[in-house]
Amino acid sequence: MEWSDSGLVLSIARHGESSAIVHLLTRAHGRHAGLVRGIASRAHRGALQAGNKVSATWRGRLSEHLGSYSVESEATYAAGLLDSPTALEALNASCALAQTLLPEREPHEAIYDGLDLVLDALSHDDVWPALLVRWEVGLLQELGFGLELETCAVTGQKHDLTHVSPRTGRAVSRYEAAPYKERLLRLPAFLTHGQTEAPTRPESDDIMDGFRLSGYFLETRALMPQTQALPPSRARMLGRLFR
């Protein structure tokens, strides 16, 4: 069997002296592993770093086999972040989340496209944090743990939504949230704006609230049932971003 696809490098684990098992998030074939030989070659050293984009061809005798990859570099996102430790931690955190949470060999094109967009934006410090929050919220949606952020859980109204219930994952309006807001998660405005509204650059507090929101539900709904935790790189990213 053989197929070709674009892929984002999620992880590389050495296998023997000159090979590695590489996990890619491919657009049409999902999270998929394969053996890459000659890992120390110049071409592979440049391409096979977490967060980079490659053109990959997978070959295996049967579809359930590990198989092998041949890869060529498409975009070296990681190389441009060596002087940006916060963005580099964001790259590592997003790749680790995809590696941990996405089922193997199950296509999630929206998650692939979103992660590709985030990685491409990591050189723009005023852009990528909000994109990463949106990607994490989208990851929850793809995994079946989607948050309901469009209408108030109590009144059904679609405006002035300010909080989210940690129990239900549903939005709550300002008035209805007021008596309970100490027990609710803040909902940043940039997660409620529709496509027809003029985009605004989120404030730092809104970005922090967005990461708290997505992180809470990633941890409690997706990771804890698998006895997993949020990747340490995500905490390091937040520490650098909001210090």
Question: What pTM did the predictor assign?
Answer: 0.93
CATH number of 2-76: 2.40.50.140
List, by residue range, all CATH 1.20.1440.120 domains of the chain: 81-149+187-241
List, by residue range, all CATH 2.40.50.140 domains of the chain: 2-76
* Cα–Cα dist 114/161, whole Å: 25
Q: In tens digits, what is the pLDDT along the chain, a chain of 243 residues?
A: 999 999 999 999 999 888 999 999 999 999 999 999 988 787 787 889 999 999 999 999 888 899 999 999 999 999 889 899 999 999 999 999 999 999 999 999 999 999 999 999 999 999 999 999 999 999 999 999 999 999 999 999 999 999 999 999 999 999 999 999 999 999 999 998 643 344 467 899 999 999 999 999 999 999 999 999 999 999 999 999 998
Collect contacts of 3-6 with beta carbons under 8 A, ≥24 apart.
3/28, 3/29, 3/57, 3/58, 4/55, 4/56, 4/57, 4/58, 5/29, 5/55, 5/56, 5/58, 6/53, 6/54, 6/55, 6/56, 6/74
Fold of 81-149+187-241: de novo design (two linked rop proteins) (1.20.1440)
